[in-house]
Amino acid sequence: MQNPLLTEFQTPFKSAPFSKILPEHFVEAILKNINDSISLIELISIQKEIPTFDNTINGLQESSKQLGRNVSLLFNLNSAETSTKLQEVTQKIAPHLSKYKNDILLNKKLFKRVKFVYLKSDKSILSPEQNTLLEKEFNEFVRNGALLSTKQKEKLRQVDEILAIRSLSFGEKILADTNIYLLHIKNEKKLKGLPDFSINEAKSKAKSKNLKGWVFTLDAPSYIPFITYSEVRSLRKEISIAYGSRGYRKNENNTILLIEEIIKLRHKRSKILGYKSHADFVLEERMSLTEKNTNYFISQLYLKSFPFAKKEWDELTLFSNQNLGINKLEKWDIAFVTEKLKKSSLELDELELKKYFSLDNVILGLFKILNKLYGLSFNINNKIEVYAKSVRAYEVYDRNNNFKSLLYLDLYPRAGKRSGAWMTSYVGQKKNQRPHISVVCNFPVPSKSKPSLISFQDVTTLFHEFGHALHGILANTYYESLSGTNVLWDFVELPSQIMENWCYEEEALNIFARHYKTNKLIPKSFIKKIKAISYFQQGIQNLRQLGFASLDLSYHSMNSHEIKNIKKHEDLILDKFNFIKPYKDQCLSSSFSHIFQGGYSAGYYSYKWAEVLDADAFEMFIENGIFNSKVAKKFEDNILSKGGTEHPMKLYKKFRGKEPDPEALIRRSGLI
């Protein structure tokens, strides 16, 4: 069979012909793409013309078009529809990609040209986007060793190749350890407290495994309802311990040695490049700039949050003691007791609330909201090939009927799909090229008798990921490397987190929140309670996220390479953020995929920083109307469409007219 990855796709919108792509195609195609790209880059490097922006920087941007497409396909499928073969291919390709990156960034002749353009070109005749790209290209060379000696460059190359493989291994071990666990219940009495949708899903899961009874797993749609609603404390304990010990069990999926190696390799890399730590290296290109600034930001939020968190914890403890007979709160009780307290104090039953959030209705409502804000329309196209049966493909158009993007919606869990929710792109945006965006979630699968009913938290998750998707869909830049989510890391969550705000507004909820049976609008009393949810246990929630951020920074600080015991180190760092003593058989770090597999190393704090940005930005919508088209257009023109073409603070000030006010988050959280 001819390898489809070696040619331009002859499909609608040049979309991926997934059924024709086999795992082995990636190896042949990507290795050829790498060689072709290196050849083009060599031609750029050896040309005799004086280096200019056009013949050097522009040339670089066009040197890896097909490679970028194929690599995106491989890594996206490895996350959303993986297999043993695909994992093997990804492991095989990873070191080649690392070597390819180093072959470019350690190319002396090429860097000499880039450096000449950076130092000698007339910046005044370049556009702001071109100036940003030039600075980005130059800094990328420097930050990847262009100024190093030959010996140091070789050391860096070796470290990068090993790191690429270790990060992939971490993700594969966590996926395997997640999939290996099953809670098999045969006695119906042990299902007490669980909602029907959870029981039905567990019944289907058992049937698919040729087992009698009910099967619960560590995938979010199965685990979260169980830990939240199960009245059987011993089973909550069992599944909680299993979840918290992923990557920490004494089996082949244990990640502790991998973590130790990743930490040391990152520290070694930063020292080779002349930085004090991996955190210093990362934060140089973040809005916070330094580890000191980041720790200060975390500490200030901690000081404001802790008194509220302590009060909330005492309330939770008293409630569990007086109403549930639980004298000592344990980790496996928190979600359960919190739900009971929320239901009691807010008189809001999450299961009743779910009946107003049919997933199909929420999606249609979200489309209407995006139409009101940005004039977007979403047209399903069943002829565009998808990579799994449940995935839907849409064409997205603006109010002038201009094609903006392809959108893949992948909403339900599968065996080969990692947990969580994310947005990604199969094709990026640049001049004369519109993007192919994907939103991936893990929501409950609909049954024959009932649609997929999602929790309010799931609703906010969907809106969040669509915020990321908007960053891609509405991108309007000249260069792909500055388009969409290609921004400083602590700015990337602004578009996603600001979208969550509409979930709490009556005007927005009335568009999509209807009872799945009666089609009645969500009652105003429920909306008031949803508003109250936004304040509920915000102190505890803040403390939890700040703990993750502190733990992340601690693994990438100046002395991180000296950490001798991951578990003891974690317990020490998290001590002031937790109200429960740590358990010896559980370890958060062992499955902390954001920082050991994903791109959040030394950057997890950006979730809270983005909350500051989005709270401050949404106040502008509140002041002018949540569907104010002028404010939305200003947000689109200065944030969503601009990507990374200018510094984030400059773009933000163009939208807001001022720098973000950290107190906006405190005001929204009710921590005053």
Q: How far is CA 377 from CA 368, 372, 380, 461, in A?
A: 8, 10, 10, 21
Percent composition of the chain: helix, strand, coil (DSSP 3-state, to 5):
60, 5, 35
115 shares its domain with 34: yes
190 shares its domain with 114: no
Q: Would you state the pLDDT for residue 348?
A: 81
Among 201, 225, 244, the domain boundary falls at 244
Tell me the pLDDT tens digit for each residue of 14-25.
Answer: 999 999 999 999
SS3 category, 524: helix
Q: pLDDT above 70 covers what percent of the chain? A: 100
The secondary structure element, H or E, covering residue 364 is helix 359-374
Please determine, for residue 611, whether its predicted confidence score (pLDDT) is greater than 70.
yes
For 183-330, where are the alpha helices, taking DSSP H only?
196-208, 220-229, 233-244, 256-272, 278-283, 291-323
Q: Would you state the pLDDT for residue 489?
A: 82
Residue 271 in domain? no
Catalytic residues: 465
Q: How far is CA 254 from CA 246, 249, 448, in A?
A: 8, 6, 39
11 shares its domain with 116: yes
Among 190, 224, 244, the domain boundary falls at 244
pTM of structure? 0.81
Place of tokens 């951020």: 549
78 shares its domain with 128: yes
63 shares its domain with 20: yes
Q: Categorize the per-residue pLDDT at 646 as very low, low, confident or very high, splitting at 50, 70 and 90.
A: very high
133 shares its domain with 39: yes
140 shares its domain with 8: yes
Among 244, 261, 278, the domain boundary falls at 244
Q: Would you state the pLDDT for residue 221?
A: 86
Residue 129 in domain? yes
Residue 32 in domain? yes
CATH number at residue 123: 1.20.1050.40
Residue 531 in domain? no
**Do the Cβ atoms of 170 and 593 come closer than 8 Å?**
yes
Total of domains in the chain: 2
21 shares its domain with 131: yes
Residue 117 in domain? yes
17 shares its domain with 133: yes
Q: Would you state the pLDDT for residue 105?
A: 86
The secondary structure element, H or E, covering residue 184 is strand 183-185
Which distant-in-sequence residues (6+ apart) come within 8 Å of 669 by Cβ?
Answer: 535, 538, 542
Residue 396 in domain? no
Q: Would you state the pLDDT for residue 574?
A: 97
Interatomic CA distance for residues 325 and 327, integer angstroms: 6
Which domain covers residue 92, as residue numbers? 4-147
11 shares its domain with 138: yes
Please determine, for residue 1, whether its predicted confidence score (pLDDT) is greater than 80.
no
41 shares its domain with 133: yes
Q: Would you state the pLDDT for residue 211?
A: 96
Average pLDDT, the chain: 94
Residue 473 in domain? no
92 shares its domain with 219: no
Residue 120 in domain? yes
